[in-house]
Structure 1
Amino acid sequence: MPPRSNSQTDSRGRHDVQRRRSMTSPTIAILLATYRRERLLFQTLRSLNELRSGHAFEVIVVDNDAAGHSARAVNEHRGEFDFPVRGVCEPRPGIAAARNRGLDESKDYDIVCFIDDDEVVDSEWLDEIIRPILNAQADAVSGPVRSDYEVRIPRWAELGDFFSSPRIADGTRVKEAATNNLAIRRSALDASTAPRFDDRFSESGGSDIFLSSQFTSAGNVIVWASEAWVSETVPSSRCTAQWIRTRAIRGGNTHGRVALLRPDRGAGRPGSSIRRLSIVFAGALRIAGGTLGMVTGLNPNRSRRAARGYRTMLRGIGYLRAVVGNDVLEYKR
């Protein structure tokens, strides 16, 4: 079992950063959830083979296809990699189920890292993403993702940063994090109020935002590691105007649903009329602000202000869809 943290917790459950245990030789698991993307998955594994790090790690691939073809392929080719790797099959469909299976398989590790099965890590990624945890500066660390497009995306999507990671200074505390580039101290996760990914987000995505926002609300610290880069491959099917618009709406829809369902923060009870009204207000503000940016910027294909306004407006629509239960189900099969 992983060593228990010596962090002290007050009556409100808030951790003292200065008392986190510094790690010198942590055990590390890198978790990869996958579904029928074997070519990209092995591209990810090959990039992990090129890591320059003094830290040992194991890779656990969770195949969310009940047929288990990718898990078998990983186990058949494990000898091709310089690190231990194993594939397991999680037959229950949904991204939350796959992530939770990864947690079940990594209970004995000090640090668990999450990346996606369509990403390639930079050679220094592992050292950069775990450094703040090793130095007792954080309970979890998130990093940037650059996008490599198979075909060119619309100009308004470039100007509006529809794919770009936020520009955040190194070491900045963030309130939430996605599992496309995340490291987390396992003992802090296990002791948190939301130690598992919520199945209500299995078809829509967003279980990582739901978990991480509660993680920080309870007093845990997530910091940004600006040099912990990974690159995602964006296939041509996701470079279309329609898919990119839907992606922006889904981003707002995710945050609207998180706000609607969070048990630890928000007006009224989760799902209550008061909570819904607050989300309507948040969505309306985004639609109004985004529309204003589009009007003053004139042309989203030429103006960054207009393009960002378009993105903000679409995210506002996603908030309103969360209120009425018209969710964007990207992972529905």
Structure 2
Amino acid sequence: MKLNGHDNITIVTQSPDLSPEAIDVVVTLPTFKRPDHLLKTLASLKAQVTSRSFAIIVMENEAEKREGATVAAPLFEAGEYRGLVIIAHNRGNCNAYNAGWLTALAIFPNFKSLVVIDDDEVADPHWLENLCKTRELYGVDFVGGPQIPMFAKPEHQVWASHPVFSPHYDTTGRVPIIYSSGNLLVGRNVLEAMPFPFLDLTFNFMGGGDSDFISRSVVKGFTIAWCAEAAVYETVPARRVEADWIRARALRNGVISSLIEKRKRSNEPFGKLKTILKSLALLAVSPVRAVIKTAQTGSLSIGVYQIYIGLGRVLAEFGYSNEQYRQPEKN
């Protein structure tokens, strides 16, 4: 069944006991070619310690084989999980998120918070409750939490402090910005105020659509907190500690940083020029920053990361974009 008015979204199934009006929190879970880990993620949601009424939307983004939907649908039909399984037919990270968030608004009329977890993550049992409590405590519109890397090979755990993997904050409280939707709470009020598509398709295969969405929301006055106690544990395959993957991710992060800043400054006098000058300045000082970071951490990779960020920002001015999600088998 197609979602009303949206041919690119198919509802595969929903749980038999679903009462949409009673749902207070919607958990959206995008999946792409990870059926085995999807089951682990779902199991961690089933183990949540909370009295809040929540439903799950699984967004299958592989519209041909549908491996995730195939393993998840019978569990929802049997009532093991409450919610829906949908197909987001248009490929790409942003399309999957947009489909899930739009479905949440269409199906659940009274939810207050929408929460995001990815299909390579496992939630702490108190994850959902801590995200919601933090929103209530600080009266904010977004809450982010740490994605703790769990490396496939134990010897790779030394990479946990690398900026590609380490959380941006250490303590709970209000923060100016967060950068990822891999562990995120979004208020319904944000979704109702922001234009659709929520995540800009410019970032569909690059990543960063979440950072851009949050940045645009902050410009409109929405506020953010961080919850250090709302952890998810992200499975990191061995591929992601190889030098070429780290380099590609760092360059990509630089590109995303430049694109987002350019948008923020779009209405400023000489905004584009200011962004270019900042990018050039960051690249110019990056060798010094690299030496300092290498000395502080003893890691050449952490040091060189500073140079790649600056280089990525400058390359963005020439139209460079590293679409790491275009070839998921290499990601």
Please classify the TM superposition score into its range, dividing by the shorter chain length.
Answer: 0.7 to 0.9
The residue aligned with 1:319 is 313
| Preserved CA contact (<8 Å) 1:71 1:86 | no
Corresponding position: 1:291 with 2:287? yes
Question: Which stretch shifts more, 318-327 or 134-143?
Answer: 134-143
Give deviations 1:243-277, integer Å, cap 9, x for gaps: 112112211111112223x2xx31557xx9x5443
Distance 2:84 2:246 in 1: 34
Query: In structure 1, what is the Cα distance between the partners aligned to 2:138 and 2:288?
Result: 44
Q: Are the equivalent residues in 1 in contact too, given 2:150–2:157 (CA < 8 A)?
A: no
Match status 1:162 vs 2:164: yes
Contact kept, 8 Å, 2:148 with 2:167, in 1: the verdict is: yes
Mark the runs of 5 or more structure 1 residues left unpaired by the alignment: 1-24
The structural deviation recorded for 1:69 is 3.1
Matches within 5 A, 1:76-225: 76-78=74-76, 82-107=80-105, 108=109, 109-135=111-137, 137-151=139-153, 152-153=155-156, 157-158=159-160, 160-192=162-194, 196-225=198-227
Partner of 1:330: 324
Among 298, 301, 304, the residue aligned to 1:303:
298
Q: Hey, what does 1:10 align to over in structure 2?
A: none
**Which amino acid counterpart does residue 201 of structure 1 have in structure 2?**
F
Answer whether contact 2:56 2:82 (CA < 8 A) is retained.
yes
Q: 1:31–1:102: 8 Å Cα contact kept in structure 2? A: yes
The residue matched to 1:331 in structure 2 has which SS?
A: helix
Q: Which residue of 2 aligns with 1:266?
A: 265
Partners of 2:114 and 2:161 lie apart in 1 by 34
TM-score of the aligned structures, taking structure 2 as reference length? 0.82
Aligned to 1:42: 39
Q: Is the 8 A contact 1:294 1:307 kept in 2?
A: no
How far has the Cα of 1:224 moved from its partner?
0.7
- CA-based RMSD: 2.5
> Is the Cα contact below 8 Å between 2:283 and 2:314 reproduced in 1?
no
SS of match in other structure, 2:234: strand
CA distance in 1, matches of 2:25, 2:252: 32
How many Å separate the matches in 1 of 2:136 and 2:275? 38
CA distance in structure 2 between the partners assigned to 1:230 and 1:243 by the alignment: 22
Residues 187 and 267 from structure 1, CA distance in 2 versus in 1: closer, same or farther, beyond 3 angstroms?
closer
Superimposed CA distance per residue, residues 109-151 of structure 1 (whole angstroms, 9 cap, x where no aligned partner):
2211011110000011001111133346111111111101112
One-letter identity of the residue aligned with 2:322: V
Shift of 1:242: 1.2
Q: Distance in 2 between matches of 1:161 and 1:59?
A: 31
- 1:22 aligned residue: none
> In proportion to residue count, which structure has more strand?
2
- Normalised by the length of structure 1, the TM-score is 0.82
Q: Output the CA distance in 2 between the equivalents of 1:319 and 1:64.
A: 30
Please state if 1:53 is matched with 2:54. Answer: no
Q: Alpha carbons of 1:296 and 1:146: their partners in 2 closer, same or farther (altered >3 Å)? A: closer
Q: Which ranges of structure 2 fall in alignment gaps of 5 or more residues?
A: 1-21
Amino acid at match of 1:71: A
The CA deviation at 1:81 is 6.7
Q: Alpha carbons of 1:276 and 1:296: their partners in 2 closer, same or farther (altered >3 Å)?
A: same
Cα 1:178–1:194 shift into 2, 3 Å: farther
Q: 1:49 to 1:203 in 2, by over 3 A?
A: same
Equivalenced residue count is 300
Q: How far apart, in 1, do the equivalents of 2:239 and 2:79 lie?
A: 30
SS of equivalent to 2:173: coil
